[in-house]
Structure 1
Amino acid sequence: MTGSRVLDVGTGSGPAALAAARAGATAVGLDREPGLLRLAGDRARDTGLGGRTRFVAGDATALPFATDSFDVVVSTFGVMFAPDPARCAAELVRVCRPGGLVAVASWTPDGVMGRIAPTVTRRLPAPPSGPVPTRWGDPEHVRPWFAPLPVTVRTRVCGVRVAYPSVAAAVRVFENKPGPLRAHRAALEAAGRWTAARAALSSLFAEHNTATDGRLVWDVPYLLVLARVGGTAPRA
């Protein structure tokens, strides 16, 4: 990783970009949320990584970078929320140099993270428009997006442990997160349906809890997509 140029798309508060910088790369984090970008910049300065990181506002469907700008392009649970997934896939590949690697991690539809949005949106007065984020967690959807591109793709399902102090704490985190869920909450509040949706969210969280000490602990599956640009398939 030392000396590599890394782009983190949908960086949020910057964890992947900061991890890359910590490993010796020069990292750029991109997101549409100004508040999250400010937080990412603060974290970089506080950890002494400000010289190795840069955070910019931008759109995953039209990345503001030249072709072949990066050695590695990653997205950890970020690009899955962008519109037009096929165009996003093309943009990730475009800005990655030949021989470079595109790596995308996305929640699978069957895990607790993948079930959060359906638990909430089924209570909306009208179904939400736009692409379904968890399609990035299904190889049957992902492969056609990358098929026309100059890449060799492998996928595998991985898992990560996620913990919160309690079920109630997790509900507070998710209902206030920037992104689609916050927009759904506003629509449900306007329709007088948020209380029921919030209770359903709490029940979903408790159903998947593996802790017995009052905390909330999940073992959550995600799909890892590895795309080698113009080369042989990466190990999955």
Structure 2
Amino acid sequence: MTIDRELQDIARRTWSAGNWDKVADFIGNAGPRLLDALDVSAGMTLLDVGAGSGGSVAIPAALRGLDVTATDLVPDHFDAGRQRAAQVGVSLDWVEADALDLPFEDESFDRVTSTFGHMFAPDHARAASELVRVCKPGGRIGLACWSPQGTIGRFFALTGEFLPPPPPGFVPPVAWGSEQYVRELLAPYGLDLAFQELLNTFIDESPQHYEDFMFANFGPLVTAVEALGERADEFRAANLALYDDINQATDGTLRYEGQYLQTIAVKPT
């Protein structure tokens, strides 16, 4: 397999910026929901792709007695992950890996998961093939991906308005949040597919506090500001306006729903 090293380096720099471990606390409920839908049980092997610091799926799975391997393109996240795991008394394997070239044998895992991780790999078809390849026959793949029509989709679209145009053939990560797109992407593998539209609730003390936090800690925003130079203030103002627009709270705090698609795929035996 040939990996585009330039794209890989860009992704590594992007997700190394800021502090993903802090941001991950906002999406902590998606992982346990996914594990419930995957019908996991103690003793199963589970691979979590794009695990970050493991708080969403990897560590909750280990707490349920699964044998967990957590991978990420950015191994810097693993120190925080090990601390999280130690605090709750579990251990798991941490492996630096690209979602486009997973360093595991075919049919190695009972369950394969990714929550808002693999969707950012630049080659969607190849990422899909890797998820399927490492899953055992009869095993299950569970994915959680932001929906293009939801609030997080709007956030990424806004960011795209300020940055240079993507390369030809680019498919946005939030395409993974479209049921029809995922059906077409996974069609070659004969998987039994089930989908559910779900919401992740974001709560913070105010829109301004949330913006300050995200621009300090969320890698794509940190690197976008660095790239925008004099337009950074305009970009921040546009983001704050978006947060104000989607805010459901009326008391000065922030509360909004992030729509995402949960996909459960069963690999044929």
TM-score by length of 1: 0.90
Structure 1 residues 169, 36: CA separation in 2 closer, same or farther (over 3 Å shift)?
farther
Residue pair 1:41, 1:54 contacting (<8 A) in 2 also? no
Matched, 1:37 2:75: no
% same residue = 37
CA deviation map 1:47-96 (0-9, x unaligned): 2112xx12211100001111111111111111111110111011001111
Shift of 1:133: 0.8
In structure 2, C-alpha distance between the alignment counterparts of 1:177 and 1:139, rounded to whole Å: 30
Shift of 1:179: 4.2
In structure 2, C-alpha distance between the alignment counterparts of 1:169 and 1:12, rounded to whole Å: 23
Q: 2:120 aligns with which of 81, 88, 94?
A: 81
Matched, 1:113 2:127: no
Aligned length: 226
Shift of 1:119: 1.0
Residue pair 1:103, 1:226 contacting (<8 A) in 2 also? yes
**Counterpart of 2:128 in 1: which secondary structure?**
helix
Matched, 1:70 2:109: yes
Q: 2:200 aligns with which of 143, 153, 160?
A: 160
Partner of 1:123: 162
Q: 1:61 aligns with which of 84, 100, 121?
A: 100
CA deviation map 1:86-120 (0-9, x unaligned): 11011001111011100111010121111112112
Shift of 1:178: 5.2
In structure 1, C-alpha distance between the alignment counterparts of 2:161 and 2:51, rounded to whole Å: 28
Matched, 1:18 2:59: yes
Shift of 1:46: 1.8
Q: 1:136 aligns with which of 172, 176, 190?
A: 176
Shift of 1:177: 4.0
Q: Give the aligned residue type for 2:265.
A: A
Shift of 1:185: 2.4
Shift of 1:26: 1.3
Paired residues for 1:81-230 under 5 Å: 81-124=120-163, 126-129=164-167, 130-177=170-217, 179-189=219-229, 192-230=230-268
Q: Which one scores higher on RCO, CA 8 angstroms, separation ≥ 6?
A: 2
TM-score by length of 2: 0.79
The alignment yields a C-alpha RMSD, in angstroms, of 1.6
Structure 1 stretches lacking a partner, 5+ long: 232-236
In structure 2, C-alpha distance between the alignment counterparts of 1:174 and 1:141, rounded to whole Å: 29
Residue pair 1:210, 1:218 contacting (<8 A) in 2 also? yes
Partner of 1:49: 90
